[in-house]
Amino acid sequence: MNQTPAHSPRDILHSVFGYHAFRAPQDEVIDTVMAGRDALVIMPTGGGKSLCFQVPALALPGTAIVVSPLIALMQDQVAALTQAGVAAAFLNSTQTAEQARAVQAQIRAGTLDLLYIAPERLLLPATLALLHGVCINLIAIDEAHCVSQWGHDFRPEYIRLGELAAHFPQVPRIALTATADETTRAEINHRLALTDARVFISGFDRPNIRYAIEQSHGKIGAREQLLRFIQGQHAGEAGVVYCLSRKKVEEIADWLALQGLTALPYHAGLPAAQRERTLRRFLDEDAVIVVATIAFGMGIDKPDVRFVAHLNLPKSIEAYYQETGRAGRDGLPADAWMRFGLGDVITLRQMMSESTAEEAIKRIEQHKLDAMLGLTESTQCRRQTLLGYFGEHRAEPCGNCDNCLTPPQTWDASLPAQQALSCVHRTGQRFGVSYLIDVLRGKIDTRIRQFGHDQLGVFGLGAGLSLDTWRGIYRQLIARGFISVEAEHGGLALAERCRPLLQGHEALWLRRDTKPVDKTPRPPRSRIQFASPEDTALWEALRACRKTLAVQHNVPPFTIFHDATLMEIMDERPGSLAELAQISGVGAHKLEAYGAAFLAVLAPFTHHATSPTQSASRGQTQPIKTALNETTEATLALFQSGMSISSIAQHRGLKPTTIYTHLAELIAQGTLSLDEVVELPSEEIARIQSVMHAQTEPGAKPVFDALNGQYSFDVLRCFQAARQTESRAKSRAN
């Protein structure tokens, strides 16, 4: 369905959403949909999926239909679009009859740009009749992985969405998800009847997320490990904690609250009003921790979630990736932390044994569980393992996961593993782990004597190893498939693949479990440490202004401006509406609605303070910051992942000059070297340094002129930063 756009996608991107450039492959996706062709988009959370349908929805005449599985997601998206000046609405069960009729009137009048709706509501005969009478320019199916029958978020109502091809044969459809392996992608195309869809996979890497997986440790309980993590790395920040059961959700939330944290429970068994209050507090406040089952989180558009923690193993890497992806949607540093133990491994294996699914589905579920367990026990880079599962190759370790930051030790566990397997066999392949370890360690009790297992050759054979070590051995043997778990009672039995190991024909190296170390609490990686009280005051003033506006408009603060936008305002210190319009994330509607309020906040600081960017241009030495601010650290994470400066700018929706400013700051602080940032031959570097040393006037302009404009101001500021670092080093030496 070819239609003539009213405005170009790039104009809409800038005027409505306030961004200066598309990220790859957003522009290709938009061109495909606007040409009338279907598309399947696999793009990581925070990668800009929504713009792939929101921009063409505004560029083409008519109304776009957005299928969404969750009421909360619809409400958040509509609120954010409304703040940007877009005519958006939703139809769902929370509305009164009068409210629903008002939306339907907008649809008939053709005044609505986007309509968000649940799949079951969309396919009602009355809804279809309504939509057949108006111009529909595209249909977007968000969270498309919900169509997968063996997926972690399967929604039966999504199955019928394939009928849309027959109802609207000339309307392009776009299916979007953050997570889908090759099997799931094929199922999405099949069930949604996307027979000729272009597939776009933008990569699965989330470089700003640091992955860490800890094993359970003896007397240190799960909640104590969790508290150490939160207090040590994310005090005063928002996060999500996932638990397997509703009971555990409430227990953990209550306990964290007793420790002084703002922790709220969320699961499907709680009253709807309580769930809604929890969601609103999570979105509107700064330091709320939600403890939840997987019923919480899909589509929650809160950009500043600084951590996602798991206290139980997810069933698949897709589930893990989807859930951890809810952290750091703003591109700033975030953590994905998980704690698991032997009990988790046994429970999941037992659930697999009990499954009544068809054999084909069971095989796929088994493959997914094996991959998840493999990730937990891996000694390799977590990110390489994670991306490899989705078919994406990463040549180098990431340097931003627990295995990279603290490489795990391995040990030759061949003999203890043989003893563990032999104990399973000698005791009849029907006992649980605790009993088997008691036999191996030579524990004398009534039950062992009753079965005569104190007379076995394996009795006491493992007395030299600790209880935790044996639990780690059994955990890893079960995870690797050497031992199976009996469905009904959880007894252990030998799997076929254990024979070479049991018979001594195969060696086995296992990951050595380590005890968690008490760490001195430090400022969170994302917490901004400013150079001066004035900078701190400006930051707090900008946040207070945003909060006031959010309360006035009854929306979450981040729908006014994201933290990254506030940080760029800090860097640039705009003094007029025209200058403010150049900040990423400031569209025309927000400029008109909020521009004057933010300029009023900036005015006293603009007159009496100097921005980091302005200071760098005049060659002034800034006070050394005790830690990186969040936007600079986000740039650092992307730069160290191997991305070019232009790619980082495009990825973050910032100007290259801003990225260079961040890198110059990192050079000045000694975090990066000049050679890492500026890729020039050594003779050119020497020439620039020579000219710079010869200058008597401050700033980059004299150097720029002396070099005949051959090098940009951005590059020259990096040289100035390196010179500052060198001068400080000499001063300390003297």
Asked whether residue 620 carries a pLDDT value surpassing 80, the answer given is: no
Cα angle 140, 143, 149; round to 5:
115
CB 547 within 8 A of CB 557: yes
pLDDT the model gives residue 72: 76
Specify whether 223 is located in the same domain as 290: yes
Which range of residues forms the domain containing residue 256? Answer: 209-405
Residues 539, 654 within the same domain:
yes
**Residue after which a domain boundary falls, among 405, 436, 459:** 405
Asked whether residue 238 is domain-assigned, the answer is yes
Residue 84 located in a structural domain = yes
Q: Is there a domain that residue 652 lies in?
A: yes
Same domain, yes or no, for 251 and 375?
Answer: yes
Residue 681: pLDDT above 80? yes
Q: Is 528 part of a structural domain of the chain? A: no
71 and 194 in a single domain? The answer is yes
Over range 387-393, report the average pLDDT. Answer: 84
* CATH classification of the domain holding 259: 3.40.50.300
pTM above 0.75, yes or no: no
pLDDT above 90: residue 168: yes
Which CATH number do you get for residue 420? Answer: 1.10.10.10
CB 395 within 8 A of CB 378: no
Confidence of residue 625 (pLDDT cuts 50, 70, 90): very low
Note whether 15 and 76 are same-domain residues: yes
CA-angle at 517, arms to 512 and 519, nearest 5°: 150
Same domain, 657 and 672: yes
Judge if 712 and 564 occupy the same domain.
yes
As a whole number of angstroms, the distance between CA 213 and CA 205 comes to 18
Greater confidence (669 vs 674) lies with 674
- Give residue-wise pLDDT tens across range 440-492: 999 989 999 999 999 999 999 999 999 889 988 998 888 788 888 876 667 88
Q: What is the number of domains present in the chain?
A: 4
**C-alpha dihedral sign at 341, 343, 349, 351:** negative
In a shared domain, residues 401 and 415: no
Q: Are residues 680 and 719 in the same domain?
A: yes
Q: Is 482 helix (H, G, I), strand (E, B) or coil?
A: coil
Q: Is residue 524 part of a domain?
A: no
Band the pLDDT of 344: cuts 50, 70, 90: confident
Residue 521 falls within a domain, yes or no?
Answer: no
**What is the structure's pLDDT at 619?**
34
Give me the sheet containing 209-215, strands edge to edge: 209-215, 334-340, 307-310, 239-242, 289-292, 263-266
Alpha helices, DSSP H only, in 110-221? 119-122, 125-132, 164-167, 182-191
Per-residue model confidence (pLDDT) at position 500: 92
Give the Å distances, CA to CA, from 242 to 226, 348, 377, 453, 503.
11, 16, 20, 40, 41
Answer whether residue 525 is part of any domain.
Answer: no
pLDDT at 219: 62
Judged by average pLDDT, the poorest of 276-280, 409-413, 559-563, 704-708 is 704-708
The per-residue pLDDT for range 234-282, each reduced to its tens digit, is 988 999 999 988 999 999 999 999 999 999 999 989 998 999 899 889 9
pLDDT top residue among 171 and 205: 171
Tens digit of pLDDT for each residue in 636-658? 888 887 778 888 887 777 778 88
Q: What is the pLDDT of residues 582-596, one digit of tens each?
A: 998 999 999 999 999
Residue 653 included in any domain:
yes
422 shares its domain with 333? no
**Pair (219, 367) in one structural domain:** yes
Contact (Cβ atoms closer than 8 angstroms) between residue 63 and residue 115: yes
Residue range 521-536, pLDDT digits in tens: 455 555 556 667 788 8
Residue 611 vs residues 531, 575, 602: alpha-carbon distances, Å: 11, 12, 11
CA–CA distance, 131 with 110 (Å, rounded to integer): 11
CA–CA dist 560, 424 (Å, integer) = 60
Within 10 angstroms of residue 561's Cβ, the number of other Cβ atoms is: 27
